[in-house]
Structure 1
């Protein structure tokens, strides 16, 4: 999930784009998030569990998501030795980025609650619900920050890679020994660029 958040900065021929630039975009991104963050985003104060709608991510949550995203990109660059030009706004130095992640972890603590079905309910089983006393979107930010700590402090840090295909600004987890790129599209662009360089003695610009 932290890698997915890092990759909300994307680049194409038209430049660099932020895919969580406003509340509607941030809400859509949270709705489509993997289970941990989505569960946190659905967690309401007390016993209610409101769905994740556009209103769940106000401008405060957008700012928190983007601050965390920019900090994670600083940490990812340090972890991978990424020498690409920074994409998007800078989150400052390494110490500042660590502070942002730790602040996000503490921003909206959440907890689990066990729901046990009625004995007469033959179809249902025990279920876990996530609760928080804070705004749901901020709870999702905290959940992503927790995953980021686990990523950078755990063994998966060694699998984190910067994609060096032409024009790419993304990161990925190298889940196969032969994987070099974040996507097949980037792999194809890199091969085309290498072919061009071999046959023309120069580098091909590919935004």
Structure 2
């Protein structure tokens, strides 16, 4: 494996600034897809730079089976930026199709499958400090983490949970979420409050 050149030499990981993508605790594929979001009525790309990608994985690394240490994230490069954005866009496209119906673009499907295949993974037993299973990969850990997201996307879109995918219909929101409660209608409490306020305003406007 070719050594990866550090992206931020001499910079602490917690100093990296993210692209503002919301953290909602959704399944990792949906969380990554939501790295395209809306602010003040405009679409925002939350993964515009290598730094944004490193920060996104930093903020979510506790959710991966593969251990991502600071060095892994500080070595994020332009290749990681392109691959992460491609996976984000593919997942977002497929989520939209799952919610609205229709045929999925083959390019999006193949992007997900390619990223699964790009990083073969397996689990090994570790006994230091007690027995536990460690996720291992044959390529660098960031690629392995992306493959983990892609595999979860395969399981999500190919499994029963696809029926629970929803688009948030709060005013101006473009995020998706997994409906994990029968009464859940919004991606977040904030969006629910905005939607109720908008309905209240509309009712008052019609009766005034």
Please classify the TM superposition score into its range, dividing by the shorter chain length.
0.7 to 0.9
Among 192, 199, 202, the residue aligned to 2:204 = 199
* Structure 1 residues 105-124: Cα deviation after superposition (integer angstroms, max 9, x where no partner): 1111121111124xxxxxx3
Superposed CA offset, 1:84-131 (max 9, x none): xxxxxxxxx6211111111111111121111124xxxxxx31122222
Match of 1:120 in 2: none
Aligned with 1:175: secondary structure?
coil
SS of 2:134's partner is strand
Quick one: distance in 2 between partners of 1:40 and 1:199? Answer: 52
Aligned-residue offset at 1:140: 1.0
Which residue, 90, 93, 96 being the options, matches 1:74?
93
2 CA distance for matches of 1:41 and 1:115?
Answer: 13
Report whether the alignment pairs 1:154 with 2:156.
no
1:102 equivalent to 2:113? Answer yes
| Structure 2 portions without partners, runs of 5+ | 1-27
Q: CA RMSD in A?
A: 2.0
**Which of 23, 27, 39 is the matching residue for 2:54?**
27
| Pairing of 1:120-135 with structure 2 (within 5 A) | 124-135=129-140
Does structure 1 residue 114 correspond to structure 2 residue 125?
A: yes
1:97 to 1:41, Cα distance in 2 relative to 1, 3 A: farther
Q: 2:176 aligns with which of 171, 176, 196?
A: 171
The match for 1:186 is 191
Of the structure 1 ranges 66-75 and 15-24, higher mean CA displacement relative to structure 2 is found in 15-24
Residue aligned with 2:95, SS = helix
Measured in 2, the distance between the counterparts of 1:41 and 1:31 equals: 11
Deviation at 1:192, TM superposition (A): 1.5
By relative contact order (CA 8 Å, sep 6+), the higher-ranking structure is 1
Residue 25 of structure 1 and its aligned partner are, at CA, apart by 1.6
Please tell me whether the aligned partners of residues 67 and 135 of structure 2 are also in contact (alpha carbons under 8 angstroms): no
Residues 1:156 and 1:56: Cα distance change in structure 2 (over 3 Å): farther
Q: Distance in 2 between matches of 1:62 and 1:150?
A: 24
TM normalised by structure 2 equals 0.78
Q: What is the alpha-carbon distance in structure 1 between the residues aligned to residue 171 and residue 184 of structure 2? A: 16
